Amino acid sequence: MDELMRQRRVYGADHDDPDPGPQPGHSYRELVGGPLDGLLLDVTGWTETALREGAALNTEIGRFGPGGRAEYGPRDGDFDRWDWQGDIP
């Protein structure tokens, strides 16, 4: 894991977590755009189907505020990055 990756914050990590970055042996996708831009999503153990479908991730900072979700899905040709597809209630 390169140094830049180790400095990144993982989606779902507490803000006061002393080590909110990625952990060795885990697989991550970079979230690009939208309210969760720049975070890493831990996809360790996800099925190939789930990785192709993407995810709707809870966020309080999206269009719909608390209780809303941000949809992210794999980028064509670059499956390590998931692009924001919009916010949903």
Tens-digit pLDDT profile for residues 49-76: 999 999 999 999 989 999 999 999 999 9
CA distance 87 to 64: 7
| Cα–Cα distance, 41 to 11 (Å, whole number) | 5
- The overall longest dimension of the chain from CA atoms, in Å, is 36
Q: Are 28 and 82 in contact (CB under 8 A)?
A: no
Report the distance separating Cα 52 and Cα 14, nearest Å. 27
Instruction: Look up the domain containing 49 and give its range.
Output: 3-88
Q: Give the pLDDT mean for 81-89.
A: 97
pTM for the whole thing?
Answer: 0.88
- How many domains are there within the chain? 1
Q: Dihedrals φ, ψ of 8, to 5°? A: -80, 155
Residue 5 pLDDT > 70, yes or no? no
Q: What is the pLDDT of residues 12-47, one digit of tens each?
A: 988 788 889 999 999 999 999 999 999 999 999 999
Phi, psi of 50 (to 5 degrees): -60, -40
* 3: pLDDT strictly greater than 80: no
